[in-house]
Amino acid sequence: MSERLAVFACGNPSRGDDALGLELLARVADARFPDVVTIEDFQFQIEHILDMEPAALTLFLDASTKALAPISFCEVSARTASATPSTHALEPADLLAVYARALAKTPPPAFMLCVRGENFGLGEGMTPQARRRLEAAWPFLCDLCSDPDVDRWRSLVPGFRIDDPKTDTVP
């Protein structure tokens, strides 16, 4: 039986806000959504294409310092100029490209839920801003995992916005 949804998260819990994706993934695992499999690692790696293969839909969870919005959600496509398969750490777009090349088939539709972090220092705890964003992202992530439908997810991408009215704004 193939899983309907594979949810991946990467990060390092010893590096402050880098744990955001892992914290969200732990909640998904604890919620035990039907037909959802969770995969956790420090980095997205080429071996994860085998975890993606049985999935009908893929979701990547991660923290970022580059995200403009406090919480972003977008569809991810395979990058045409991709990293080589010998690369250990890959962006989701590169991982999808490796999937297509290595398995000679189209990867499952993939999306990214990214939560902006502030501090990624070694030995640091999660910042209050990151904790607020995590709480704001959780209900949306629950909705995604409760209804993993690619067409519905695509309809959510345009105009997607979640921000914390206390401190965060979208430029």
Chain segment 22-68, per-residue pLDDT in tens:
999 999 999 999 999 999 888 778 787 888 888 999 999 999 877 67
Mean pLDDT of 111-128: 87
pLDDT-based confidence at residue 10 (cuts at 50, 70, 90): confident
Mean pLDDT of 70-90: 73
Q: What is the pLDDT of residue 170?
A: 44
Write down the pTM of the prediction.
Answer: 0.87
Contact (Cβ atoms closer than 8 angstroms) between residue 51 and residue 39: yes
How many angstroms separate the CA atoms of 155 and 127, rounded?
Answer: 32
What is each CA distance from 76 to 60, 65, 95, 140, in whole angstroms?
9, 18, 10, 18
Distance of CA 55 to the CA centre of its chain: 15
